[in-house]
Amino acid sequence: MDEEQIRTAFEKEGIVNEIKCPQAFIISEKYGIQKMDIAKYCNRNGVKIRGCQLGCFK
């Protein structure tokens, strides 16, 4: 996982403390970041994931 890539993507998309599941899927596709890497980054950095309909993020 490239934390700097995720941090940069979040900054560009205006994500600070919270991300919604559809946003995470869009960021994953747009920046070529695996969904589980986004989940791990969020868990490590206190970013809350809201509205996960598939259970991909914990």
Domain boundaries, the chain: 3-50
Residues in the chain: 58
Which residue, 51, 2, 5, 3, is CA-closest to 24? 51
Which pLDDT score, from 0 to 100, does residue 51 have? 81
* 13-56 tens-digit pLDDT: 999 999 998 999 999 999 999 999 999 999 999 999 888 766 66
pLDDT band at 57 (very low <50, low <70, confident <90, very high): low
Which pLDDT score, from 0 to 100, does residue 16 have? 94
Residue type, 39: A
**pTM score:** 0.84
Which pLDDT score, from 0 to 100, does residue 56 have? 60
Instruction: Report in angstroms the alpha-carbon separations of 45 from 9, 33.
Output: 14, 16
Spatial separation of the C-alpha atoms in residues 19 and 36, rounded to whole Å: 14
Q: Is the pLDDT of residue 58 over 70?
A: no
